[in-house]
Amino acid sequence: GLLETLNVTSLLPDVDSASRSDAATNLPTKADYIKLLQIYARSHRKVGKPYLAEALHPDTGSFEGHDGYNHSEHYFHSGFCDLVITGLVGLTPRDDDSLEVNPLAPADWDYFALDDVPYRGHLISVVWDKTGKRYKFGAGLHVLVDGKPAAKSMTLRSLTLRVELPPKGLDSESQVTTATNFAVNNDGDYYPRLTASYVSPTTSASKLNDGNYWYVPHPPNRWTCEGSPNAQDSVIVDFGAIRKLHTVKLYPLDDSGVRDSAVRAPQRIELDAWIDNAWRAIKSPNGVLDKPVGHRANSVKFDPIETTKLRVTLHHPAEGKSGLTEIEAWGDIKLPLESVAPPAGNLAWNPKPDGFPKATASYSDRFGGKPASAIDGRTVFLPTPMNRWTSYESPTATDWLEIDFGRDVEFRRVELAIYDDRGGVQPPTSYAIQHWTGTEWHDVSNTKKSPEQPLGSQWNEARFDPVTSSKVRMVFTHRGQSRSGVSEVLIWND
């Protein structure tokens, strides 16, 4: 059968446990664990380069059939690290102020090292140096706590050492603050909310606060301004509440070594905060905003300020357009951080499975994408957790999503969080907003859309003359063989 990477990650800990057993049975040995781990590590390759997809052929190692674009690239599981940390190196947490280190690594290895593993408020390092010439700690097995020697053995064997929790400070636990990124939004809440002056159709502003940053173009985790007519473009982060900030980190892109990409580091960056109903400039004491560098965090530290919004403006270089992979806005706060309620007035919102408003559709996919998910107040542009309606596999060239208010309401604005998996579900070529007259559907009048062409993985807005109706529907014209979908619909009368 298939070799699924997650299943292997789950299975090898059982081999680890069996190999440490003293029972005289035909259980796997330490050598068996090392052999399996080496095979698993070798599977993390494609054309000789580090890579891992969702599953592979157990004999050939081929990822064929499981290597879809923007689906399972970079399928590296954190569990693999655990196989090395708790298995190969043998760190075994205990609940008695102790730590056991019992490596499965073979004694004929010349050296290995594991550095700075957080454990009970300390940093643990484990070093094996057969000759003592590699790491300069001397020959043998060494365990360090916070950089200081804590245990050693001349042979590769089990060691147990005391690792106590550090004493608590004078401040009570309720007074402790934690550095928090106020910009990130992984829960699908309305806030923090991003808006951009321009978005390249192949990228998404929603990637800027998903908690991830990487600089490779595929799969995309970026916002860029390729195609923008502007000499500068901006992104606004709306927190929805006052946040006290002291650091902003920006992660500029630079595709100088990438073929057919005009994305370059910005010439300079402006950073502003919304204070007293006006934009106020935030200066960078280290000058990082004047000469931003791609492929790294450009950190701006400043005296704490209170603000509800940030604006990041990129001044594009002469030879291309710029972009970012992440924006972080840091401050200190007592946890837990309460989510900010969305603004009142969304006529489409219904978090309950029944009652009004009620959503229906001309067609819904068979994988769990349902109309009710489009009005539950959660917006998720990623494949998981599933929170969307799509018309995937629909036999028709157009499909509609209808919202029944259960009564007559006035509205004049619709926001669509268009879903895009860059495969079977993509942004429609167009969409129309229609209202129910009581006998038939009519298009709304004087519609102004932003952006003009539908874009996926971000909000699309349509404004029109106010109408009063008990129902509204969005009619999507599908793009080629793909079908349309949305994660959320918001309807307003403002």
- Cis, bond preceding 451 (omega within 30 deg of 0): yes
What is the structure's pLDDT at 18?
64
SS3 15: helix
What is the structure's pLDDT at 163?
94
Instruction: HSE, CB side, 13 Å, CA atoms: give it for residue 54.
Output: 9
- Answer whether residue 3 shows pLDDT above 60: no
What is the structure's pLDDT at 74?
74
Provide the pairing of β-strand 389-390 with 485-492.
Answer: antiparallel
- Cis, bond preceding 192 (omega within 30 deg of 0): yes
Is there a contact between 488 and 185 (Cβ–Cβ < 8 Å)?
Answer: no
Give the pLDDT mean for 40-50. Answer: 87
Mean pLDDT lowest among 23-32, 202-211, 267-276, 458-467: 23-32
What is the structure's pLDDT at 47?
86
Provide the pairing of β-strand 441-443 with 430-436.
Answer: antiparallel
Class of domain 358-492: mainly beta
Unique residue bearing structure tokens 């993985």: 457
Report residue 35: phi and psi, to 5°: -60, -45
Note the pTM of the prediction, 2 decimals: 0.80
pLDDT-derived band at 231 (thresholds 50, 70, 90) equals very high
Instruction: CATH number for 179-333: choose from 3.40.50.720, 3.40.50.11890, 2.60.120.260, 3.40.50.300.
Output: 2.60.120.260
Mean pLDDT lowest among 53-62, 134-143, 147-156: 53-62
Tell me the per-residue pLDDT of 304-313, one tens digit each, with 9 for 90 and over. 999 999 999 9
Burial code (b: 16+ CB inside 10 Å, e: under 16) for 135-157 equals eebeebbbbbbeeeebbbeeebe
What is the structure's pLDDT at 5?
62
Q: Report which residue type is found at 246.
A: H
Which sequence spans correspond to the domains of the chain?
Answer: 3-162, 179-333, 358-492
Tell me the per-residue pLDDT of 187-201, one tens digit each, with 9 for 90 and over. 999 999 999 999 999
Mean per-residue pLDDT of the chain: 93
Give the pLDDT mean for 456-484. Answer: 98
- Answer whether residue 22 shows pLDDT above 80: no
Give the pLDDT mean for 329-357. Answer: 96
- Answer whether residue 48 shows pLDDT above 80: yes
Domains 179-333 and 358-492 share a fold: yes
pLDDT above 70 as % of the chain? 93
pLDDT-derived band at 173 (thresholds 50, 70, 90) equals low
What is the structure's pLDDT at 4?
65
Nearest CA to 419 among 364, 353, 339, 358?
364
Handedness of CA 175, 178, 183, 189 (dihedral sign): negative
